[in-house]
Structure 1
Amino acid sequence: MKVAKFGGSSVASATQLKKVGSIIKNDPNRKFIVVSAPGKRYKEDFKITDVLIKLGSDYLNQKPYEEHVNTIIERFTEIIDGLELSSNIINDIKHTMQTALTSESVKNGKMDAIKAIGEDSLAKILSEYLNSIGIKARYINPQDAGIIVSNEPGNAQILPESFAKIYSLRELNEEVLVIPGFFGYTEYGELMTFSRGGSDITGSIVAAGVQASLYENFTDVDSVFTVNPTIVDNPKEISTLTYKEMRELSYAGFSVFHDEALIPAFKGKIPVCIKNTNNPDSPGTMIVSEKTHNEKCVVGIASDNGFCSLYVSKYLMNREIGFGRKLFQILEDEGISFEHAPSGIDDMSVIIRESKLTSEKENNILKRVKEELHPDLVTIHRDLAMIMIVGEGLMRTIGVAQRATSAITAADVNIEMINQGSSEVSMMFGINAGGIDRAIQELYKVFFE
């Protein structure tokens, strides 16, 4: 049995959903289908989830919200009409939306219930469409599927007891089961969403739960590329990746896959294939546990901006017991998680996502670090970008760091920091965000041309 997940671009319109129907029909082993909410039909278009977030925000802040409701209904009506389905589905979507907005039973997780409408509605539409083209299919609510999650609105985590319940779905093998992604239910029946892009997580959870032979993640590219194709023209494709490599690439800006999504599949040892809805015959990129040792050491170069660095310097810092703990405690008190923490004997840098560091939090952190840790110097440097060179066995390969630093130097970009730590899979370089494209282009020449 295969689990196939279709992303936002794959379900953005009736035309795309017809392609999805053909893909499912062409392989009877695709028994479990997980869907996202409709994404963009073209570059300037909107994603349904974005409109739902605006709807929820305006409703909760007692602002006019009817325009958002109309936009959502119009989009789903267009899809339903294009698939020649009954208008009864629209009435069901309207009812679901009204319940999420006004029901007293939906209190703590009201925003989550609103955000989940996109995936839930699309799953109902697709199941109806599959039946209309002769495929016996059924919509399955995540609660009925056994997707039990923690009580963390907007950041739910799957609970271990879910997998045994999900396994029982195998008994329904006479039908194709269509499951909305992005959300599950707590033990007490409250709807909770995963973090944004969490439909990938649902697909991976279902694949692990039913012990699928393959988890196919359908998107709008033929494969994972060695670098971002908006930075380098026609970059090479990657045919095979390990789970560790893909997780590093996903975290560091590869938007093909949610960076948490592979964990359930990895633990369940389920192979994953990234494929293109618009070109389903392309082999795609396989994600596996291990690769043969004769494959290239560096498989990809990922990049992302929007970082800042908290730099703390103090003479004899290395002799001061508890210094690092106290610094991280200050960050924890402000509700800030860190990404990297390269350090020396007298100084320490903590890399943070800029979006998490508001001006108020920045002032609080600087004030507390000065008062509690008495550093010689403390600064925050914004506008940083991170470049990750990714590949299994980096530490076993001579000269990777030298080639990388030479390439960045050739791009006339200054390296702000380097961090490899204990990772055998990635090497991180921090640079000023303005030089990211030049650095990536030079690195691509060195490692792939």
Structure 2
Amino acid sequence: MIECKLINVKIIRGVYPVTKIIKFGGSSLANGDQYQKVIDIINADPKRQVIVVSAPGKRFDGDIKVTDLLIQYANETVAGKDSSKTLATIIERYQQIADQFNVSADQFKQIADTLTNLPNQKYPNNEYLLAAFKAHGEKLNAELMAMVLNQLGVESRFVDPSEAGITVSDDDPNAATVLPETYENLGHFGYGKEKLVFPGFFGITKEGNIATFARGGSDITGSIIARGLNIPLYENFTDVSAIYAANPKIIDHPIAIKKMTYREMRELSYAGFSVFNDEAIIPAIEGKVTINVRNTNDPDAPGTLIVPEGGFQAEHPITGVASSNHFAALYLHRYLLNKEVGFTLKLLQIFYKYGISYEHMPSGIDDLTIIFDKNQLNQDKIKAMCNDIHDILHPDKLQWIDDYAIIMVVGEGMVDQTNALSKSIDPLAADNIKVNMINQGASQISIMIGTRKSDANRAVVDIYNQFFNQQEGE
């Protein structure tokens, strides 16, 4: 038998064709025991060469994530309060992991000193200060992971986003977006046989400041690097063994989804699927990267594959059903609304004035319902917006509906179904659930249903049973 070995050379504008990128969430890295599971997973497959890590998460119920501790540290710093207790708690979280793997005191001192000196650095403003403090949860965990791997004889290197050229926008330091030049920078990034350990969650602005992604940032980083380095498989390890067809908190033992498309994941994430960040799908789509969601605590489970649409064969008429309560709606009625030129334009101008985006706008000949994500609204903004609509558009009826939930029924298999809509609605009628709105997406792979919040979970149960339990003869 001939033994093949990788040659330690730098690869420019390309990577080893067998390389995988692997990302671990906060719960996977919460303590030393979890670290060991991660190391075992890394070592189980030599293709796992690029590693993305989150900050240490909760070790137990009631524990505090390191990111939340860093936010507390930042707020204390801005307020001029004593932050020594918070700082000591953060350092101790990393120290416990380092001690379990016999990381030397000299090496660990780098982490402790960085945390201690965070308040002494210069930041453009307090928003950038907060972003920098938060980002160090991932940054220092990536440094620690590289130290631990090297201590165990696994040749590894920490890669700072500034070194890799992960460049982000500077319009909002706590909700940054990746800039196109990032992919060109990563295309020229060279490396050899060592494991590369990247921190998730943040990038660097053109001015050299740290800026974080809004949420699920480590998932986003993994997708960005996968696309930039042309890595075809992105393994995303979390604390669940698969993505399920419904929320396990609503449905007992829902079926695991073996394979789903990017756009199915996007549609379901919109209504509450939180296993994988929906924004992280975008770089993966652009790079045609297959994502494999897996479980750190059950690494032999195959997990769920998220794949491009081409050649996809649906296993069920629908792939999943999800619900979310973070919506509200504005109902507007006016006779002959459909005859007035520019009515919708005036409405959108009011939204623009208040910096509000809308989610959906189902309409009839005399009425509109505008659905909003409530996270961008407060009572003062709602009142001012409604007053402007009343004064400018003179509706016959204007009603704000705060009691609003969205149910999403999603599946590539719906394209070939003639009764997907009726099968989704019929069980709700039988269960006396009032439907406020129905909207079928243009792609024909999703049906959106509006209900009262109190009915949302029941609606999910009814629709799940209709499509899955009946099909399986249960």
State the TM-score, normalizing by the size of structure 1.
0.95
Counterpart of 1:444 in structure 2 is 464
Counterpart of 2:366 in structure 1 is 346
**Residues 202-235 of structure 1: per-residue CA shift (max 9 Å, x gap):** 0000000111131111111111100001111111
Counterpart of 1:243 in structure 2 is 262
Counterpart of 2:102 (choices 79, 84, 97) is 84
Contact 1:410 1:442 in 2 (8 A): no
Letter of the 1:266 partner, please give it.
I
3-state SS of paired residue (1:31): strand
Counterpart of 1:271 (choices 273, 283, 290) is 290
What is the CA–CA distance in structure 1 between the aligned matches of 2:230 and 2:27, rounded to whole Å? Answer: 27
Contact 2:53 2:199 in 1 (8 A): yes
Counterpart of 2:318 (choices 293, 298, 303) is 298
Counterpart of 2:446 (choices 376, 401, 426) is 426
What is the CA–CA distance in structure 1 between the aligned matches of 2:413 and 2:348, rounded to whole Å? Answer: 30
3-state SS of paired residue (1:116): helix
How far apart are 1:380 and its partner, in Å? 1.0
What is the CA–CA distance in structure 1 between the aligned matches of 2:124 and 2:296, rounded to whole Å? Answer: 35
Counterpart of 2:408 in structure 1 is 388
What is the CA–CA distance in structure 2 between the aligned matches of 1:68 and 1:326, rounded to whole Å? Answer: 50
- In structure 2, list runs of 5 or more residues that go unmatched: 1-18, 470-474
3-state SS of paired residue (2:22): strand
- Residues 318-327 or 174-183, more deviating: 318-327
Instruction: State whether structure 2 residue 71 is matched by structure 1 residue 53.
Output: yes
**Residues 15-58 of structure 1: per-residue CA shift (max 9 Å, x gap):** 11111111111111111101111112223222221222233233
How far apart are 1:336 and its partner, in Å? 1.9
Contact 2:167 2:206 in 1 (8 A): yes
What is the CA–CA distance in structure 2 between the aligned matches of 1:399 and 1:442, rounded to whole Å? Answer: 16
What is the CA–CA distance in structure 2 between the aligned matches of 1:292 and 1:212, rounded to whole Å? Answer: 21
What is the CA–CA distance in structure 2 between the aligned matches of 1:373 and 1:435, rounded to whole Å? Answer: 33
State the TM-score, normalizing by the size of structure 2.
0.90
**Residues 213-267 of structure 1: per-residue CA shift (max 9 Å, x gap):** 3111111111110000111111100001011111111222111111100111111
Counterpart of 1:173 (choices 189, 192, 200) is 192
**Residues 100-149 of structure 1: per-residue CA shift (max 9 Å, x gap):** 32322453611111110111111011111111111100111011111111
How far apart are 1:411 and its partner, in Å? 3.4
Alpha-carbon distance change, 100 to 329 in structure 1, aligned in 2, over 3 angstroms: farther
What is the CA–CA distance in structure 1 between the aligned matches of 2:163 and 2:28, rounded to whole Å? Answer: 25
Identity value in percent = 43
3-state SS of paired residue (2:318): coil
Counterpart of 1:362 (choices 374, 378, 382) is 382
What is the CA–CA distance in structure 1 between the aligned matches of 2:161 and 2:64, rounded to whole Å? Answer: 26
Counterpart of 1:214 in structure 2 is 233
**Paired residues, number:** 448
3-state SS of paired residue (1:309): strand
What is the CA–CA distance in structure 1 between the aligned matches of 2:182 and 2:201, rounded to whole Å? Answer: 15
Counterpart of 2:426 in structure 1 is 406
What is the CA–CA distance in structure 1 between the aligned matches of 2:235 and 2:370, rounded to whole Å? Answer: 37
Letter of the 2:315 partner, please give it.
E
Alpha-carbon distance change, 57 to 311 in structure 1, aligned in 2, over 3 angstroms: farther
What is the CA–CA distance in structure 2 between the aligned matches of 1:51 and 1:190, rounded to whole Å? Answer: 21
Instruction: State whether structure 2 residue 248 is matched by structure 1 residue 229.
Output: yes
Contact 1:297 1:392 in 2 (8 A): yes
How far apart are 1:89 and its partner, in Å? 4.9
- In structure 1, list runs of 5 or more residues that go unmatched: none
How far apart are 1:168 and its partner, in Å? 3.1
What is the CA–CA distance in structure 1 between the aligned matches of 2:436 and 2:199, rounded to whole Å? Answer: 43
Alpha-carbon distance change, 320 to 69 in structure 1, aligned in 2, over 3 angstroms: farther
Letter of the 1:351 partner, please give it.
I
3-state SS of paired residue (1:172): coil
Alpha-carbon distance change, 300 to 188 in structure 1, aligned in 2, over 3 angstroms: same
What is the CA–CA distance in structure 2 between the aligned matches of 1:276 and 1:294, rounded to whole Å? Answer: 23
